[in-house]
Structure 1
Amino acid sequence: MRWAIGVKDIVRSGEVPLPVDEAIIRMIRARMDEAGCVRIGPSPGDEVEVVEGPLRGLRGILEREVGDRERVIVLLTAIEYQARVVIERRAVRAIVGEWI
């Protein structure tokens, strides 16, 4: 294979292609949108941490994107209290699944 749209390279050791664990393939497929593009960054259901602003350091679950896709709703979990907040997408990072 010489090229494919959206493919930078094949996972390999030298010139030998390497097998990719099925769990990694499932994780990549779960992040694909209708057009077959892989979403980068946290997705709904991911545990996230707020990395900027007055809520910095708090953790929660990314619930969904807000209309413009620049903001997300995060279900924050604090000591025996939960709150939904609308926050800039750039202000959160995934706690798990960061390898993508």
Structure 2
Amino acid sequence: MTPEVEAALPRRLLHTMLRVGDLDRSLRFYTEVFGMDVLRREDYPDGQFTLAFLGYGSEADHSVIELTHNWGRSEYERGNAYGHIALAVDDV
């Protein structure tokens, strides 16, 4: 394998993103049922959405879950709430 190809291979899973219709309810579920911590929460008024990152340790050292709440959207149909996964690479 060439160094260029090796540098582009994923090094770790950063996060996986799910869309949620009720952010507060989802945060309670992940924190109370699974014991996760809310690592950060950011509102984006211009884009009309909020991101919340949850996990069992810092984002620098652990894979986490990103919950995306699009303001004004209270539910999703089966199959369209999954957003993406984020992978770390050394170079692209």
Which TM-score bucket, shorter chain as reference?
under 0.3
**Greater Rg over alpha carbons, structure:** 1
**Could you tell me the TM-score, scaled by structure 1's length?**
0.23
**Could you tell me the TM-score, scaled by structure 2's length?**
0.24
Query: 1 or 2, which has the higher helix percentage?
Result: 2
Highest relative contact order (Cα 8 Å, sep 6+), 1 or 2?
2
